[in-house]
Amino acid sequence: MSTLGYEAELRSERSYVEGLYTRLDAERARVKGEFQAALRGNGGTAVERDVEVRALAKEAKRLDVADNGLCFGRLDTISGHHSYIGRIGIFDEQNQYEPVLLDWRAPAARPFYTATGANPENMRRRRQFLTRGRQVVDFTDEVFGHPGEDDRGDAALLAAVNAPRGEGMRDIVATIQAEQDEIIRLDHPGVLVIEGGPGTGKTVVALHRVAYLLYTQRERMERHGVLVVGPNPAFLNHIGRVLPSLGESDVVFMTPGDLVPGLRVTAEDAPDAARLKGSLKILDVLTAAIADRQRLPEQPIPIQLKDVTVRIDAETAEWARDEARSSGLPHNEARSVFAEIVTYVLTERALGRIGKGWLTRSDREAWEEMRADLLKELAEDEVFTAALDELWPILTPETLLGPLYSSPERLRAAGADQALLRTDGEAWTVSDVPLLDELVDMLGRDKAVDKAAEQAAERERKADAEYAAGVMDIMRLDYEEMDEDVLLRADDLLRSTELADRFVERDTRELVERAAADRDWTYRHVVVDEAQELSEMDWRVLMRRCPNRSFTVVGDLAQRRSAAGARSWGAMLDPYVPGRWVYRSLTVNYRTPAEIMNVAAAVLAEFAPGVQPPESVRANGVQPWSKRVTEDELTAAIEEFVRDEADREGTSVVIGPPGVPGTVPASETKGLEFDAVLVVEPEQILADGPRGAAELYVALTRATQRLGVLHQGPLPQALSGLAEAVQV
């Protein structure tokens, strides 16, 4: 294309994109006006207006995400038809079925990512725009079958991977590659496992898959939302802008430690304890721990009633315990069976003693009166209630697990390893979360508490109704001077569903808030990132959260650091979705330059020799460096790196073993990326066994541009290829 031809094309494309923004602004203004009108109230009931306000708010959010990079490309068919591809879809004002901008998720947009010279899919050309704000500043063309010398189809991709990193992960809608697009649009109703080494884009592909599923299956998915589980808060903050930037907001982000609402996780278990808690064998421990709290009295417990003293002996309690256990009910719900048997035995004994010698069994009415009196006495007797609490206590997950962890005797009774023993039983760890969640179902509800809550809610409803009636009476008094027809209309208005809606408690929280606060909430789809770290018990929690078993699972077995994590995908998934999970791999590293990946690959070869490292798509000419320092020089060397990087554009991080000032552990950087990385004391990181090797591999592969290593002792053998040099 000549310079004059290019300039003319660029002006034409700028004009078209400016027109798209004009339509976007007009649509925003329309939605904003309707939103403001709905807030003021424009007819309909309160419920109808609430639905309208929520829908308009969601539409406004969808339009707001499109300001930057609204349109990023164009497809030309062999027949000469043009289709513009963008972040959202925009339709012609006169013909609402004719798109002037195709949503990147629409089937017609797929060739933008998948067409190749070998398989052009009836496409003649793919044009990719480079934009700044709302303006097209450049474009590159890839002409299928007839490429010109100026055609640079990978220019947008190379610009994206070389660009400095910001505070969060960016979407890749403009640069999705065919390998990634196939996974994003995969039509599979079960579990999809995406495995890939560092920098292959598996996380961002999974997030774009969520956006695609929400686009194609919105009606089925949006009422329940999507759950995204990531390894730590920093990672979730890093990826948190991707889906909103694609117009999707009905997504809950959690770490494994957040899966039980209201629980505060304060620590991480040692490897041995984490392995024990993560294994399904811990279910036997939990079952035994519950059984241990279902006690028999060592001595008969006397219950002093008005006319007689009765005793709860071991034989009675054992019969009641056997009946309660055989009921199949969870522990707290089975307490009613236990109490019923004990109550029956005590009333029968009391009746026999009280009525002996003067009351015959034929005096049925007298017997029943006496029985009713005894039942009432027992229900109100504090000693009897205390005895039930001792023999069959109402338990919460916390009141079962905390005392178990802090008692060697209880651990022995439950058949648990003493490695679980700790001083503060309720210093909850991430590994405790699936156990506490499991116990919610194993223990069941406290029906007495639930009944009290229902009664309180009913009293509140009655109070609201009385208040509403009072409002109507007051308004009638105010309207005494009004015309009768006006009064009737006012009275009718007050009695309408709007008044009822005003006093009926409705949950007005957004879906994300409601889902995050509700342990029993179920999602239509779940994304699990760094899934190799999840234990067998973690998977039980997630499967409960998604009964239809629709998952996108992202991970890299070579990066596993958890002692309880996955050694194979089948071991974790086959118990739940046998034959319903598929595996896809990503093999191209878009993040890490070849110079850095070669260093990391040497570490990978030592601890996972059978794993092939991903192939880097680029080299940047900057060689990783290492520098040996003394203990006194270490802090100054770290500070020098931080100062130098502060003067550069982009992000940086210092990664080191626990206890080294100024560093963060590799585990806290999983899934993150930085322009520059300094790894401190790699030999200490490696010293943590197989987990340490995985940690070092993670640390080395966080950099997108520059990598340095500081060490006091000799470099580990796997890093011997690093040049000992000054920082560059």
Over residues 250-276, the mean pLDDT reads 92
Q: Provide the residue type at 361 as one letter.
A: R
Record: fold of 594-724? Rossmann fold (3.40.50)
Over residues 647-656, the mean pLDDT reads 93
433-443 and 536-545 helices, crossing angle to 10°: 60
Q: How far is the CA of 6 from the CAs of 10, 13, 575, in angstroms? A: 6, 10, 59
CA angle 314/449/343 to nearest 5° reads: 30
Inform me whether the pLDDT recorded for 490 exceeds 50.
no
186-259+522-586 against 594-724: fold identical: yes
Instruction: Summarize pLDDT for 3-17 with one digit per residue, the tens.
Output: 788 899 999 999 999
Query: For position 501, what pLDDT does the model report?
Result: 46
3-state secondary structure string across 513-557? HHHHHCCCCCCCEEEECCHHHCCHHHHHHHHHHCCCCCEEEEECH
Residue 202 assigned to a binding site: yes
Residue 201 assigned to a binding site: yes
Percent of the chain predicted with pLDDT > 90 = 49
Residue 197 assigned to a binding site: yes
Query: For position 639, what pLDDT does the model report?
Result: 95
Q: Please state, in angstroms and rounded to a whole number, the distance separating the CA atoms of residues 438 and 101.
A: 48
The domains of the chain are located at 3-146, 186-259+522-586, 273-443, 449-502, 594-724
Which of 529, 526, 507, 527 has its CA nearest to residue 518?
Answer: 507
Residue 281 assigned to a binding site: no
Instruction: Summarize pLDDT for 15-42 with one digit per residue, the tens.
Output: 999 999 999 999 889 888 888 887 777 6
Q: Please state, in angstroms and rounded to a whole number, the distance separating the CA atoms of residues 461 and 505.
A: 8
Greater pLDDT, 305 or 536: 536
Instruction: Summarize pLDDT for 98-138 with one digit per residue, the tens.
Output: 889 998 888 898 888 777 666 788 899 888 888 888 889 88
Composition of the chain by helix, strand, coil, percent to 5: 50, 15, 35
Residue 140 assigned to a binding site: no
Residue 33 assigned to a binding site: no
Query: For position 410, what pLDDT does the model report?
Result: 97
Residue 200 assigned to a binding site: yes
Q: Provide the residue type at 542 as one letter.
A: L
Model confidence at 498, in pLDDT bands (50, 70, 90)?
Answer: very low
Which of 614, 627, 612 has its CA nearest to residue 682?
Answer: 627
Q: Provide the residue type at 480 as one letter.
A: E
Token pair recorded at residue 637 = 């060397």
The DSSP string of 133-195 is TTEEEEEEEEESSS--TT--TTHHHHHHHHSPP-SSPPP-TTT--HHHHHHHT---SSEEEEE
Q: How far is the CA of 528 from the CAs of 335, 472, 543, 707, in angstroms? A: 38, 53, 11, 29
To which CATH superfamily is domain 186-259+522-586 assigned? P-loop containing nucleotide triphosphate hydrolases (3.40.50.300)
Model confidence at 153, in pLDDT bands (50, 70, 90)?
Answer: very low
Q: In what order do the strands lie in the sheet with 723-724?
A: 652-655, 674-680, 703-711, 625-628, 723-724
Inform me whether the pLDDT recorded for 298 exceeds 90.
yes
Q: Please state, in angstroms and rounded to a whole number, the distance separating the CA atoms of residues 6 and 101.
A: 22
Inform me whether the pLDDT recorded for 645 exceeds 90.
yes
Reported residue count of the chain is 728
How many CB atoms are located within 10 Å of the residue 356 CB? 8
271-278 and 536-545 helices, crossing angle to 10°: 50
